[in-house]
Amino acid sequence: MTLDPTRHPDWQLAQEAESHMKPILTLAAEMGLESSEILPYGHYMGKIEQQAVLQRLADKPDGLYIDVTAITPTPLGEGKSTTTIGLVQGLARRGLRSSAAIRQPSGGPTMGMKGSAAGGGLSQCIPLAPYSLNFTGDIHAVGAAHNLAMTALTSRMQHERNYDDATLERLSGMRRLNIDPTRVNTGWVVDFCAQALRHVVIGIEGEGRRNDGFMMRSHFDITVASEVMSILSVARDLRDLRQRMGRMVLALDRDGKPVTTADLQVDGAMTAWLVEAVKPNLIQTMEGQPVLVHTGPFGNIALGQSSVIADRVGLKLSEAHVTESGFAAEMGYEKFWNLKCRYSGLTPDAAVLVATVRALKYHGGAPQLRPGQPLPEAYTHEDLALVEAGCVNLLHHLGIVRRSGVPAVVCLNRFHTDTQAELDTVRRICEKAGARVAVSDHWARGGEGALELADAVLDACRTDRRAFRPLYDWNLPLRERIVRIAREVYGADGVDFEPLAAQRLAALQERPDAAELGVCMVKTQYSLSDDPSRRGVPASWRLHVRDALLFGGAGLVVPVAGDISLMPGTGSRPGFRNIDVDVETGQVSGLF
Amino acid sequence: MTLDPTRHPDWQLAQEAESHMKPILTLAAEMGLESSEILPYGHYMGKIEQQAVLQRLADKPDGLYIDVTAITPTPLGEGKSTTTIGLVQGLARRGLRSSAAIRQPSGGPTMGMKGSAAGGGLSQCIPLAPYSLNFTGDIHAVGAAHNLAMTALTSRMQHERNYDDATLERLSGMRRLNIDPTRVNTGWVVDFCAQALRHVVIGIEGEGRRNDGFMMRSHFDITVASEVMSILSVARDLRDLRQRMGRMVLALDRDGKPVTTADLQVDGAMTAWLVEAVKPNLIQTMEGQPVLVHTGPFGNIALGQSSVIADRVGLKLSEAHVTESGFAAEMGYEKFWNLKCRYSGLTPDAAVLVATVRALKYHGGAPQLRPGQPLPEAYTHEDLALVEAGCVNLLHHLGIVRRSGVPAVVCLNRFHTDTQAELDTVRRICEKAGARVAVSDHWARGGEGALELADAVLDACRTDRRAFRPLYDWNLPLRERIVRIAREVYGADGVDFEPLAAQRLAALQERPDAAELGVCMVKTQYSLSDDPSRRGVPASWRLHVRDALLFGGAGLVVPVAGDISLMPGTGSRPGFRNIDVDVETGQVSGLF
C-alpha cells in the first residue's frame, strides 16, 4: 500500500487495495472450493454452494474456531470488525489458511452515519462499495420475503372483512383465519433509517372503498431487524430454513391463537425468495484472505452475528476461522456462547476480547464522547489513572469469556494517539489477572501489525485449557435462564419482571417446546447494566425486564430489558450526502 | 423437449430446458463478448459491461431492429413476450445471430396472479425462477434508491420543523428547503401488490415526540412504477443516469418551487445504489439465444419497455435484435416510436403485431373474459363471424405501425383451439389490406414453430419500404402533441382537458425545457379509447385528460387519461400460495 491510513479515508485505502484484488475464482480455488461450489457474482464476489461443500467435506476436521468480542464500547465503536479482518491477515502471515465471517451491513447505518462496516485502515474487506450497498442482494431478499408475508396478511384481512364465510371460502379456498386487528404485532420493513415510518396508519379507507386494505396502526422496522433475517442466521440449511419460515407468528386470532406464515400459505413463496440468500457470500481481505459475509441480524433484537452456515463452511475450508459477535461480550459473546454454538453444534477454541485505550479511559471516567464531535483532551493525551480505572470493565468481560470455559486473548487495538505507558498499564493489569494480552497495530499496518495478536491466539488455542460449557441447561424455566444471565454475566443483583413480562413468560413456559426456545436478551450495549449511562462495572442494580417477545420461526424468546428501537433515525447531517459515483469507472466515493 | 406444453405448466417446461442450459460464459462468448465484458451472476445469469461493449463496437453496424407489439388484448394477454422469445428462436434457426430484450417482471404480479412473465410454452427464457424472483437485484436497487430519497426528504422535513434557521444551518450545513407538507407528491415503494399501503399516514407524532418523522399523508407505489425505474429505462449511460438522478422532483416548497433530489444532496448516493443496475442482464431462450433483460418500467405510467441501453447493446452484438413494447400498439408502440426511439437514436426495421383468434373474437363481440374463469364457448369453438368482426381492431393497430413508416408483420399467435378456417379468415382480411401475415406456432413448437414468422419478418426488413418518422415535432406545444396522439393514433374525435390538466400543462409549457420533455400517455390498454369496456374500434369519442404529471428526472410529462393505479391489489386466491422450494435442490416450483 502506498497510501497512509492516518491521512486517507477508508474508501480510498480500499480502492487502492482493489486495484490488485484476486479474481473470485482464484480466491475460491485457493480455499479448496471446486468450481461447481462457487457462484460468481461479478469478478470479485461470489456465493458458496454450502450444501455441496458441507457434504463433500463432512469427514474433514474443522479448523480452529475463534470468536472476536469486545469490552463495553464507546459510542464511537472499538474496532471489532477491523480486528477480525486484521487477525485473519495476521494468521495468514503465520502460514495458516484463514478466513473471517462477518455480517452484511444494513443500508440504514451505511447511508445514515456509520459508513462502511468493512473494518478500517489497512484491515478492511474488499470490494468495499458493493459490500456496503446491494452486495449479492441478500438483505433485499430478506426484505422481500418479509413484506410478502405482510402483503399476504393484510390482503387476507381485507378479504375476510369483505366476505361472509361461505363466499370467502368459495373465492379463496381457505377458511376464515379470524385475525384480530388489535393484535397484529408484525410490521413492514425497509432497510434505511426512516424514522417517519416508525408509527403509521395503513389501509386508510374512504367512503365505500373496500379494496384498499384494512385500516389499522402499523410500523416499519429496518430490514435487518426482520425475523426472516434472524431465521437466516440460525438456520442450519435450506431444509431447516423452510421449516422455520412457516412458524413465524404475524398476529393472533380473535381467540388469541397464533396466526402463522404457514396459516397464510405464504411460507413456501417466502422461502423461494431466499434460495440464494441462504448461500454465504465470499469476498476477501485487503491482503487476499477469504471473508465470508452472511446475514446481518440486528443486534438489538436478534443474535447480532453472522450465520451458523457461514461458520460451518469456514471451519471446513480453513485452518483458522475467525467470527465476530456484535456488541460487547455480555451481549454478543453471551449469545454466541449460549445460542449460536447451540444452533451450530460448534465450540470455539479461543475468544479475542477487543479493548482500546480510548474505551478504557471512557470507563475510567473521561468526558462523554459523541460521534462527529472532536475528542475531548483526555482521549488524546496520556492519562494513566483514567486507563487504570477503566480496566475494571475489561476484567469483567474477561471473566465472562472465562466463565464459558474458552481461552481468552485481550487485544489492545492500538490508536496512533496511544502512548507506550498507557499500553503498558493495560498489559500489566491484564497479566496480573492471568490473561494473555497482545497489542495490535493492524489498523495502521495490516496483517504485519497483527502478528503479536495472531501468535497469542494460536498459543491460546494450542496450549490453554479448554472446557466449553453453556451457562445453563435449556430445561431450566425461561425466567431462571434470564436470572442466570443477569447475575452471572451482567453482574446484576437480580431481575425484576414487570407484570406484562411475567405474564408472557409464564404463557411461553406453558408451550410444549419451551425447552427448545432460546433466550435472546435485549439490552443496551453501552453498559453492562440496563442503563446506558452507567460505565465501568455498575454495582447494586437489578435488571428490569419489561416485556418478552416470541419469534416462533427463529425459535427465540426475547426478554426486553431496554429500549428497543428497530427503526433508527437519520440525523441532520447524514452520510449519504458525501457519496457519489465516478461516471466513467462506476467507482463509488465517500463511503467512510 | 420431452414434455408436452398442452399438458405441463410453464415452470415444468422451463425446468426441463434448464437441465441443458448453456453456461453464461459460453453464451457470452458465442455473442462475441470479451471475458471482461460479462459479469457472471451464478452459472447461468450475467450482467453486460455495456460501456465497454459500446465503446469497443462503436463502428460496427447495428443488426436488424424489430419491435413486437400487439392488438388490444383481452384480460388474459395475447402472448407478446412469448412471441418475442419465439421469434428470436425462429430467427436463430434461419442462421441469424439473434437476441431479445424484455423487461424484468415485478414481484407484485409474479406473486399475485400473473406468475412468470418469461413467455410461455416452448418459448420462454430461462432460468425461470431467478428471473422471476430476485434476479440480479435491479428492482431491489431501484427500490433502495427511491426509498433513500424518501428517507432524505422526510427526515429533512422533521429537522426543518424542529430547528430554527440558524440551528438548522449549523447542524445540517444546509439552508432551509421549506418543503410544503401539503405538496409532497412522491410516495414510497415496495414491489408487491400491497393495497393496504395505497393510502397511509406516516410520521405519527405522540405527545412531545419530535424524532419520529413529520406527520402527513403518504402512499406506497409498486417499485416498478418508481421514477427511478423510468430513468433507468431511458438513460443512455451512467453519466446520463447520474444527471437525471438529481432532477427528480419530490415535492414543492412553500413558494411552489420544485424540491429535487439534488436539493436534498441524495442524488449521488442514489446513483451509487444503481451502479450495477445500469448494466443489462443476460439470460437465454429455451433454445439458447441471448435474452437481455433490463429494467421493468410500469406500463401504466412510464414507457413500459425494456431499456434504451439493452437495445443499443443488443443491436451491436446481434444480426437481429427483437425488443418488446408493453401494452397494445396505440400505447406501447406509440411510446416506442415517439419516445424510446428518440432517446436511443435508433430506428426499427420492422414491427410485429401480435394477434390471437381469441382476442379477435373478443373484439368481434364474444362474451367477457375473466382470468381464472373457464372460457365461454365462443372462444373454444369455431366462429368465423366473430373473428371477422374483430379484425377492425387489428387493422386499426396495423395503421398505427404504418403511420410510423415501419414495415409491419401481423403474427397470428396460434392456440391449439384455433381452426384452420379461423386462421384463414384473418389471413385473408390482412392480405386484402396489403399486410404480411404469419401464423406462428412457437408456443407449442418453439423456434421450429416460428419459421414462417421469422421468414416474414426478414422479408419485411429486407424488401419493404421504410421511412421512419415521428408523429410530431417536439417543438409543438404539449397540448398539441396530446391532440395528435389522440386523433391520429387512438382515433379520438378530439381531446377534452379538465381544468387541472389544462393548468398544469400550461405551467409546464412555460418551462424553458418544454421542447425536451416527452409526452408519455396514461390510458387503459384494454381499449383504443379511454373506456376499457369499449372493444373493437370505438367511434365518436373524445379523450378525457384529467391531470398531467411531471417526471423531471425521466424528462416526461404524463397526461393522465384514465385511472392510474400504481399499487395493484392482491386477490383472495393469490399465486404465491402455489409456490414452494425443493429443499434438496433449491428448485422453485409453482411459478406459472
Q: Cβ of B151 and A192 within 8 Å?
A: yes
Grid coordinates standing for A35?
468450481
Helices (H), A163-226: 165-172
Q: Cβ of A134 and B144 within 8 Å?
A: yes
* Interface contacts A/B by beta carbons within 8 Å: 270
Please enumerate, by residue number, every residue of A annotated as part of a binding site.
Answer: 74-81
Give per-residue pLDDT as tens, A165-213.
Answer: 999 999 999 999 999 999 999 999 999 999 999 999 999 988 888 999 9
All residues of chain A having their beta carbon less than 8 Å from the beta carbon of residue B43 are 39
Give me the residue from A140, A144, A196 closest to B154, CB to CB: A196
All residues of chain B having their beta carbon less than 8 Å from the beta carbon of residue A579 are 268-269, 272
All residues of chain A having their beta carbon less than 8 Å from the beta carbon of residue B571 are 155, 159
d(CA A437, CA A419): 16
| Nearest-neighbour CA in chain A from B269: distance (Å) | 5
Phi-psi bin for A475: left (phi > 0), alpha (psi -120 to 50), beta? alpha
d(CA A547, CA A497): 8
For position A245, what pLDDT does the model report?
Answer: 98
Q: Cβ of B190 and A39 within 8 Å?
A: no
On the question of pLDDT at A120 being above 70, the answer is yes
The Cα angle at residue A125 between residues A122 and A131, in degrees rounded to 5 = 140
| Phi/psi of residue A519, nearest 5 degrees | -100, 115
Strands A220-222 and A249-253, sheet pairing: unpaired
On the question of pLDDT at A240 being above 70, the answer is yes
Could you tell me the domains of chain A?
Answer: 10-136+277-462 (3.40.50.300), 138-264 (3.30.1510.10), 478-561 (3.10.410.10)
H/E element, A589: strand A588-589
Q: Are A160 and A263 in contact (CB under 8 A)?
A: no
* Unique residue bearing C-alpha cell 418453439: B446
| Region B538-550 average pLDDT | 96
H/E element, A313: helix A308-317
Please enumerate, by residue number, every residue of A annotated as part of a binding site for ATP.
Answer: 74-81
Strands B38-41 and A588-589, sheet pairing: unpaired
Q: How far is CA A446 from CA A80, A356, A359, A451, B250, in A?
A: 14, 17, 22, 9, 44
On the question of pLDDT at B238 being above 70, the answer is yes
d(CA B395, CA B410): 10
For position A2, what pLDDT does the model report?
Answer: 82
For position A116, what pLDDT does the model report?
Answer: 67
Q: Cβ of A43 and B47 within 8 Å?
A: no
Give per-residue pLDDT as tens, B549-592.
Answer: 999 999 999 999 988 789 999 999 999 999 999 999 999 999 87
Q: One-letter amino acid identity for A330?
A: E
Buried b (16+ CB within 10 A) or exposed e, B525-538: bbbbbbeeebbbbb
d(CA B85, CA B119): 7
User: What is the overall mean pLDDT for chain B?
Assistant: 95
**Can you tell me the ipTM of this complex?**
0.96
| Phi/psi of residue B510, nearest 5 degrees | -75, -20
Grid coordinates standing for A211?
379494496
Residue B67 pairs with which residues in a beta bridge? B323, B351
Chain B CA closest to residue A168: B572
Residue A235: name the closest of A343, A126, A85 by CA. Answer: A343
| Phi/psi of residue A38, nearest 5 degrees | -115, 130
Give me the residue from B143, B213, B269 closest to A198, CB to CB: B213
Taking each helix axis as running N to C, give the angle between helix B227-234 and helix B238-245, from 0 to 180 degrees, rounded to the nearest 10: 150
Q: Cβ of A271 and B580 within 8 Å?
A: yes
Strands B45-48 and B281-285, sheet pairing: antiparallel
Which residues are CB-contacts of B434 (< 8 A; sequence separation ≥ 6)?
none
Give me the residue from B148, B192, B581 closest to A147, CB to CB: B192
Q: Are B363 and B491 in contact (CB under 8 A)?
A: no
H/E element, A158: helix A138-162
Q: Are B490 and B330 in contact (CB under 8 A)?
A: yes
- Mutation target vs B (from A111, A136, A572, A587; most B CBs, 10 A cutoff): A572
For position A288, what pLDDT does the model report?
Answer: 98
Give me the residue from A159, A271, A580 closest to B581, CB to CB: A271
- Mutation target vs A (from B39, B153, B200; most A CBs, 10 A cutoff): B200
d(CA A358, CA A369): 10
Q: Cβ of B137 and A136 within 8 Å?
A: yes
Q: Are B302 and B556 in contact (CB under 8 A)?
A: yes
Give per-residue pLDDT as tens, A47-70.
Answer: 999 999 999 999 999 999 999 999
- Mutation target vs A (from B136, B197, B205, B567; most A CBs, 10 A cutoff): B197
Q: Cβ of A238 and B586 within 8 Å?
A: yes
Q: Are A353 and A409 in contact (CB under 8 A)?
A: yes
Q: Cβ of B574 and A155 within 8 Å?
A: yes
Chain A CA closest to residue B589: A272
Q: Cβ of B134 and A140 within 8 Å?
A: yes
d(CA B35, CA B28): 8
Give per-residue pLDDT as tens, B363-422.
Answer: 999 999 987 788 999 999 999 999 999 999 999 999 999 999 999 999 999 998 999 999
Which residues are CB-contacts of A132 (< 8 A; sequence separation ≥ 6)?
A105, A110, A115, A116, A117, A118, A591
On the question of pLDDT at A115 being above 90, the answer is no
For position A208, what pLDDT does the model report?
Answer: 85
Grid coordinates standing for A479?
425466567
Residue B335, annotated as binding a ligand = no
Chain A CA closest to residue B135: A137
| Phi/psi of residue B330, nearest 5 degrees | -70, -20
Q: Cβ of A268 and B41 within 8 Å?
A: no
For position A73, what pLDDT does the model report?
Answer: 94
Percentage of chain A beyond pLDDT 90 is 92
d(CA B490, CA B479): 15
